[in-house]
Amino acid sequence: MFIPLVLASASLLTPALQESRPPDPEAVKAALARLEQAFEKGLPEERVAALQAAAPVADPEVVAWVRKGLKDPERSVQGGALEALGQMAHPKALAALHETYKTDKALRKDDEVTAKLLKSIGRHASPSSVAILADDPFGNLHHDVIQARILSLGNVRTKESVEALISMMRLRGPQKVQPYMANFRLALSILTGADQGRSQEGWMAWWNDRKKDLAVSPKPAALPREEQARWDRYWGKERERGEGRGGDRRKRGGDGDDSEGSSSQD
């Protein structure tokens, strides 16, 4: 059973996008001026550019302006606003994303936008997002939407995320779940350091043996090189990593395809 959405308020807001000192007042002023001009007189591409430029400016007034982009008639602007809110290290940005998920049914009719919304929520890596990310996980069967739920849960480093992933995996039989097992494997491996391959039964048996005493480390687990590359590619990370555990051994993640995979453990 998936985690009820009403549990969202029960978790503490501890986003991975750590807030630093307040942004420079001149940067805030410049971001606000550019956003105002773009939304009052600019073309869609100018609004998108203004949203992108505003993403590093974690200020509540800037967040409020970025949020206006969610109501823009242009899908590209909606997407730009979602991506900017996902990158803004401010609690109001995550609150705006949560509220959008809960209330904006029109926006969520678009699969591409919904996937971006979930990914932006997941980018904050907040325990308060687990219930949203696990809400009716197969209600929308678009691949990118389900992938965003799974990998975003993998970015929230709590035992509740692991439990949500296992619960999601149990909602459907092998034929329905198998196309997403590469994503389940990636998310669960980076959370726990375990690897049961793409075996639905293997992961559920693993969980049954460890659910009472499982502790999720604050630090992501090391992954085989190809799996790490796939994780970094999804989140747009450009840092260099070593080969990780098992990097010199035979390939353990196939070719990185998120939609296919055997049901065997390796």
**Who contacts 84 (Cβ-Cβ below 8 Å, separation ≥6)?**
51, 52, 54, 55, 66, 69
Type of residue numbered 227 = E
Q: For residue 183, how many C-alpha atoms fall within 13 Å in the half-sphere facing its CB?
A: 23
Max distance between CA atoms of the chain, in angstroms, equals 60
Give the model's pLDDT for residue 69.
96
Q: What does 165-216 look like in DSSP terms, one character per residue?
A: HHHHHHTS-HHHHGGGHHHHHHHHHHHHS---TT-HHHHHHHHHHHTTT---
Residue 162 half-sphere exposure toward CB, CA atoms < 13 A: 23
Buried residues in 187-221 as b, exposed as e (16+ CB within 10 A): bbbbbbebbbbbbbebbeebbeeeeeeeebeeebb
The overall average pLDDT reported for the chain is 85
Q: Cα–Cα distance between 50 and 74 in angstroms, integer?
A: 14
pLDDT tens per residue, range 98-140: 999 999 999 899 999 999 999 999 999 999 999 999 999 999 9
Kind plus residue range of the DSSP H or E element containing 230:
helix 225-235
pLDDT in tens, the chain (266 residues): 344 333 333 333 334 565 557 889 999 999 999 999 999 999 999 999 999 999 999 999 999 999 999 999 999 999 999 999 999 999 999 999 999 999 999 989 999 999 999 999 999 999 999 999 999 999 999 999 999 999 999 999 999 999 999 999 999 888 889 999 999 999 999 999 999 999 999 999 999 999 999 999 999 999 999 999 999 999 998 544 444 444 433 333 333 344 333 333 44
Residue 174 is predicted with a pLDDT of: 85
pLDDT score at 207: 97
| pTM assigned to the model | 0.83
Res 170: pLDDT? 92
Show the tokens assigned to 243: 């080969």
Report the candidate in 194, 163, 165 with the shortest Cα–Cα distance to residue 181.
Answer: 165
pLDDT value at position 218? Answer: 95
Encoded amino acid at 30, one letter:
A
Q: How far apart are CA 123 and CA 235, in angstroms?
A: 8
**Sign of the dihedral defined by the CA atoms of residues 202, 260, 242, 125, in that order:** negative
- How far is CA 109 from each of CA 44, 105, 120, 219, rounded to the nearest angstrom? 21, 6, 17, 35
pLDDT for residue 129: 98
Q: Phi and psi of 218, rounded to 5°?
A: -65, -25
